[in-house]
A and B are shown apart, each in its own frame.
Chain A
Amino acid sequence: MVEVEDVGRDAAPSGGSGGRPSRPGDRPRALALLAILVLVVGAASVGGYFIYRAEIRDARRTAQDHLDAVADLKTGQIADWLAERFGDADVAARDPFAAPRLSALVAGGGTPQDERDAAEWLAVRQQRYDYDAVYLCDQQGRARLRRPADAADPDQVASSIISEAVRAGAPRMADIHSNARGDIHVGIAVPVEESSPSADRPPARLLFVIDPNRFLFPLVQSWPEPSETAETLLVRREGDEVVYLNELRHRRGAALSIRLPISSPDLPAARLLREGTKSGEGLDYRGVPVIFAARRIPGSDWAIVAKIDQVEAYAGARRRGVFVLVALAAVLLAMALVAALVWRSWRANADRAATRAATERATLAHRFETLVEQANDALVVADADRHIVAVNGRACTLYGYTRDEFAGLSITDLRAPDRREDLPGMLHHIRDAGGAVVETTHVRKDGTELAVEVSARMVDLDGVPHFQALVRDVSERKQHERERQRAAAELERLVHERTADLAASNQELEAFAHSVSHDLRAPLRAMHGFAQALIEDSGERLDPQGRDFARRIQSAGSRMASLIDDLLALSRVTRADRAIVPVDLTALTHEVVGELRRGDRERRVEVRVAGGLVADGDPRLLRVLLVNLLGNAWKFTSRRAEATIEFGAEDLDGERVFVVRDDGVGFDMEYADRLFEPFQRLHSSADFPGTGIGLATAQRVVLRHGGRIWAQAAVDKGAAFRFTLNTARG
């Protein structure tokens, strides 16, 4: 378990409610999508509706035109047929050959031949024009002669029009009616007209009975093109009723049997007969919506109604409408689908982003928790009453309490008992100032104390103020600090000690040098002085060998003395304080050379000194340096009758190098590295006197000026000593 836990409680789920996180961008986006959809659907619906309306309108107009044409055509045909029938009857009635004989026959005259001729005449007409029957009737309407011979007596209706026709003197029609046997007939009666009628003899009558089923009804019913519901009706008004005269397409045995009120508001026939409406929409005898065209047939009481069911008329439009509707629906569906896909894609993208963000947040949170948990500092969170409510793992290891144990503790318990008094004041300060860093002492579970640095501040956890403390164990740091202080003190003490030692050493060295210069020299002085006294005072009493011995005593003492002098000089160079000032080396060289010349006036030495050579250094030490180097050159050129010594400066890689050069005996470079060691000599004392300390002293001087010194030489080719001075003035 790595999370920072609320101690003593179950760990709170870290991921929140776990549901799909709400996204603020969803709603407007969905609304926009929905609005677009609604708009498209609305526009499509309105457009579709108007297209449909137009289609229906077109269909109605087409159907209406059609019906009008049919109605007009049929009206003409029926009218023609009727006129033909009347004309036919009229022609028969006016036959000048037949008329007198027919009338005579009916009047009771005529021969059997006449009767036979008349019968034949009737038969020709009946067969030729396809009448159901043709009658020759008397004034009372009784049939005198009939063809076919087996035809029934004229029915009541037919009989009644015979007298009517006689009265009118013109053909009369017995409208479509059914006789006693149920046969439907149309009868046309016409009085026979003689060109020269005799007064005593009433005219005969002719009655033509037509079966409308033979021609009229088929004519009425025939439709110019195939149609499921189109139909033409023949009607007439009888009082307040509309009577359907012909057989109906949709109802068997309807002829003359259906009667509907003339007041029927939507019935096409009624509307024509009632108000003259010739076309429009209505409900037919079945109550089915139809489009109709209605016409009165001239020369009759008939009217014709051509109609077609709206269902059929509009079928095409409706089919197209449905198609359009379906297509529209399909398009809308497709759009909706696309919209849904787009939406889903949005959602998916948003979800992925949200998931990724959530994952990243979770990872970050987890990392952060791990960091907190494994932090080097202990983390302790307490509520306003100081009760500890959360700790990290480091706190457990630091104090030795478990999380459960922490839950029962207050931060007071973490303080060392003697440091608890100032806690309330500290907490008060933290509340006021928002935070504080304090060094104090805490106590572990096992009672051991530890020095800590507490960085505390107020934090809001779920809106409730808490104390949050980062506790750092500084006992180690304290320990280190103490050790460091101790070490520093020790070091200082040591420095003091060493400085004192050094001072003492210096003093001792000085005392030693002093002692050497006084006391070591005293016996030498005596040796030298008394040897001298021996030679001077008792010389003549010694033999030459005795005098030589005395001289050797003297020179040995002298050598010893100069050795002491050189050693002292060397130690002086080492000990002397430096006072760095600009030193005119040119002048100094002239001075030293002057001394050398005074010491050996026999020598012929050409000394070339470069002008204006000034360097920073200690004047006395530099003098020692030049004395040694120039003295060396002077000494090692002593074999030359005419020697040359140079002092100058060169530039070597940007560094100023001073050089003392001679044309003396030089030396073997093989031993060059031993040149500057004390008491090292490359020539025997017999050849060139010396102590072997001069160059060591010179090197010491150069070193004390931060410089280098080196030599270059070859046997009998002279020597060059170069040195640098690198002294910061101060």
Chain B
Amino acid sequence: MPRNGVILLVEDNSDDEVLVLRTLHRYGVANRVEVVRDGAEALDFLFRRGSHAGRDESSDPQVVLLDLKLPKVSGHDILRQIRADENLRPLPVVILTSSDEDRDVAQSYANGANSYVRKPVDFAEFADAVRQLGLYWVLLNRVPNGVK
């Protein structure tokens, strides 16, 4: 398992993107975060095609933070495609949701989401989710004094 794994953040809302990145940064998550801003691009990145064709394998994400409401291709569709792909299937996916709408949550789990975290991402909650996923290693590369 490559250390210092890449986190893929799929988020179209720039405010949310800034806040998520700030939270991760503030709590010392030093992992590289790749950000894509619509569903189509997310798929391109994951499947290394389109604008991301020829992307270096080292940038393969270790975990995906996936917003559901996305332009072009919805988060649910992306999740389904990840789970449908043989190579990507084990990839942990944490759903970022702005509500606890039952339907979304239920559908997310049905599609194979590993966890979900309500936005704005509260670090404690996020850490909980990570712990549940057994992905604590993702955070190994924390900056020792995370608070800048």
- Which one of B2-10, B12-20, B54-62, B135-143 is at the interface? B12-20
CB-contacts of B56-72 with A (<8 A): 68-69
Q: Which of A507-559 contact B (CB under 8 A)?
A: 510, 513-514, 517-519, 521-523, 525-526, 528-530, 533, 536
Contact call A518/B99, Cβ cutoff below 8 A? yes
B19 & A518 in contact (Cβ 8 Å cutoff) = no
How long is the Cα–Cα vector from A529 to B101 in the complex, in angstroms?
Answer: 21
Complex CA gap A640/B20 in Å reads: 40
Residue among B15, B68, B99 facing the most chain A CB atoms (10 A cut-off): B99
Q: Tell me whether A572 and B19 are in contact (CB under 8 A).
A: no
- Smallest CB separation, A371 vs chain B (Å): 71
Contact at B98–A517, with CB atoms within 8 Å? yes
Q: Which residues of B contact A522 (CB under 8 A)?
A: 13, 15-16, 98
Q: Are B102 and A572 in contact (CB under 8 A)?
A: yes
**B15-A526 in contact (CB<8A):** yes
Name the interface size band of chain B.
10 to 19
CA distance A518 to B101 in the complex (A): 9
Whether B15 contacts A521 by the Cβ 8 Å rule is: no
- The answer on a CB contact under 8 Å between A521 and B98 is yes
Contacts of A529 in B (CB 8 A): 15-16, 19, 22, 120
Taking a contact as CB atoms under 8 Å apart, the answer to whether B15 and A568 are in contact is: no
Q: Which B residues touch A528, using CB under 8 A? A: 120
Task: Decide: A526 and B98 in contact? CB cutoff 8 A.
Answer: no
Q: Which residues of A contact B98 (CB under 8 A)?
A: 517-519, 521-522, 525
Across-interface contacts of B19 in A (CB, < 8 A): 525-526, 529-530, 533
Closest chain A residue to B19, Cβ basis: A529
Question: Is B48 positioned at the interface, with any CB of A under 8 Å from its CB?
Answer: no
A525 touches B99 (CB 8 A): no
* Residue in A closest to B147 when the chains form the complex, CB atoms: A536
**How far apart are the CA atoms of A568 and B16 in the complex, in Å?**
22
Q: Given the complex, which residues of B lie within 8 Å of A514, measured CB to CB?
A: 101, 103-104
**Chain B residue at minimal CB-CB distance from A533:** B22
Q: How far is the CB of A252 from chain B (nearest CB, A)?
A: 168
Q: Taking the nearest CB of chain A, how far is it from the CB of B20, in angstroms?
A: 9
Count of interface residues, chain A, beta-carbon cutoff 8 Å: 19
**A525 B120 Cβ-Cβ under 8 A:** yes
B119 interface residue (CB < 8 Å to A):
yes
CA distance A32 to B49 in the complex (A): 133
State how many angstroms separate the Cβ of A225 from the closest Cβ of chain B. Answer: 156
B26 at the interface (CB under 8 A from A): yes
Contact A525 B16 (CB under 8 A): yes
CB distance from A618 to the nearest CB of B (A): 13
Contacts A513-B101, A529-B15, A536-B26 hold; do A518 and B69 have CB atoms under 8 A apart?
yes
Beta-carbon contact of B99 and A517 below 8 Å: yes
Complex alpha-carbon distance, A510 and B101, angstroms: 10
Distance between A501 CB and nearest chain B CB, rounded to angstroms: 22
- Distance from A56 Cβ to chain B, minimum over Cβ atoms (Å): 141
Give the CA-CA distance A525 to B15 in the complex, in Å.
8
Tell me if B16 and A517 are in contact (CB < 8 A). Answer: no
**Measured between alpha carbons, how far is A538 from B145 in the docked complex, in Å?**
18
What CA separation (Å) do A452 and B81 show in the bound complex? Answer: 70
Give the complex CA separation of A309 and B98 in angstroms: 164
Which residues on the B side are within 8 Å of A519 (C-beta)? Answer: 69, 98
Q: Mark B92-109, 1 if CB is under 8 A from A, else 0.
A: 000000110111100000
Which residues on the A side are within 8 Å of B13 (C-beta)? Answer: 522, 526
Write the chain A residue with the least CB distance to B22. A533
Asked if B101 contacts A525 (CB within 8 A), the reply is no
> A592 vs B104: C-alpha distance in the bound complex, in angstroms?
24
Min CB–CB distance B25 → chain A (angstroms): 11
CA distance A530 to B68 in the complex (A): 22
Chain A residue numbers with a CB within 8 Å of B22 are 529, 533
A89-123 CB contacts (< 8 Å) to partner B: none
Q: Which residue of B lies closest to A620 (CB)?
A: B102
Across the two chains, which residue of chain A brings its CB closest to B69? Answer: A518
A608-661 contacts to B, CB under 8 A, are: none
Q: Give A514 to B107 CA distance when docked, in angstroms.
A: 13
Task: Give every chain B residue within 8 A of A533 (Cβ-Cβ).
Answer: 19, 22
Nearest Cβ on chain A to B30's Cβ, whole angstroms: 18
Give the distance to chain A from B107, nearest Cβ to Cβ, in Å: 11
Report the Cα distance A509→B99, complex, angstroms. 16
A222 to B122, CA, bound (A): 184
Q: Which of B68, B69, B101 contacts A568 (CB 8 A)?
A: B101
- Residues on A with beta carbons closer than 8 Å to the beta carbon of B104: 514
* Closest Cβ neighbor of A528 among chain B residues: B120
Question: Which residue of chain B is the closest to A522 with respect to CB atoms?
Answer: B13
| Nearest B residue to A525, CB-CB | B120
Q: Chain B nearest CB: distance from A598 CB in Å?
A: 14
- Please name all residues of chain A whose beta carbon is closer than 8 Å to the beta carbon of B119 when the two chains form the complex: 521, 525
Residues of B within 8 A of A510 (CB): 103
Chain A contacts of B120 at CB under 8 A?
A: 525, 528-529
Distance between Cα atoms of A529 and B120 in the complex (Å): 7
With A526-B16, A529-B19, A533-B19 in contact, do A521 and B99 touch (Cβ < 8 Å)? yes
In the complex the two chains form, is B99's CB within 8 Å of A568's CB? yes
Chain A residues positioned under 8 Å from B26 (CB to CB): 536
Closest beta carbon of chain A to B141's beta carbon, Å: 22
CA distance A528 to B68 in the complex (A): 21
B103 to chain A: closest CB distance in Å?
Answer: 8
CA distance A528 to B120 in the complex (A): 8
How distant is B125 from chain A, measured CB to nearest CB, in Å?
13
Closest to A536 in B: B26
- Nearest chain B CB to A4 CB, angstrom units: 77
| Nearest Cβ on chain A to B78's Cβ, whole angstroms | 16
When C-beta atoms are compared, the residue in chain A nearest to B99 turns out to be A517
Which residues of chain B are within 8 angstroms of A572 by Cβ–Cβ distance? 102
Q: Which residue of B lies closest to A520 (CB)?
A: B98
Query: Complex Cα distance A526/B120, Å?
Result: 8
- Which residues from B are CB-within-8-Å of A513? 101
Interchain nearest-CB distance for A507 vs B (Å): 12
In the complex, which residues of chain B have a beta carbon less than 8 angstroms from the beta carbon of A526? 13, 15-16, 19
Q: How far is the CA of A533 from the CA of B104 in the complex (A)?
A: 28
Minimum Cβ distance to chain B for residue A534 (Å): 11
B80 CB to nearest chain A CB (Å): 18
Whether B101 pairs with A530 at a CB distance below 8 angstroms is no
Would you give the 0/1 interface string for A594-607, flagging 1 where the beta carbon is closer than 8 Å to chain B?
00000000000000
Closest-by-CB residue of A relative to B104 is: A514
CA distance A533 to B23 in the complex (A): 9
A-side contacts of B16, CB under 8 Å: 522, 525-526, 529
Q: How far is the CA of A523 from the CA of B26 in the complex (A)?
A: 21
Most chain B Cβ neighbours within 10 Å, of A513, A519, A525, A533: A525
Q: Which residues of A contact B (CB under 8 A)?
A: 510, 513-514, 517-519, 521-523, 525-526, 528-530, 533, 536, 565, 568, 572
Q: A519-B69, A525-B15, A525-B98 are in contact. List 14 more A-B contacts (CB 8 A).
A: A517-B99, A518-B68, A518-B98, A522-B13, A522-B15, A522-B98, A525-B19, A526-B19, A529-B22, A529-B120, A536-B26, A568-B99, A568-B101, A572-B102
12 A-B pairs (CB sep. < 8 Å) = A514-B104, A517-B98, A517-B99, A518-B68, A519-B69, A522-B16, A522-B98, A523-B15, A525-B19, A525-B98, A526-B16, A529-B120
| 8 pairs of A and B residues whose beta carbons are closest in the complex | A517-B99, A526-B15, A529-B19, A529-B120, A525-B120, A521-B98, A518-B98, A518-B69
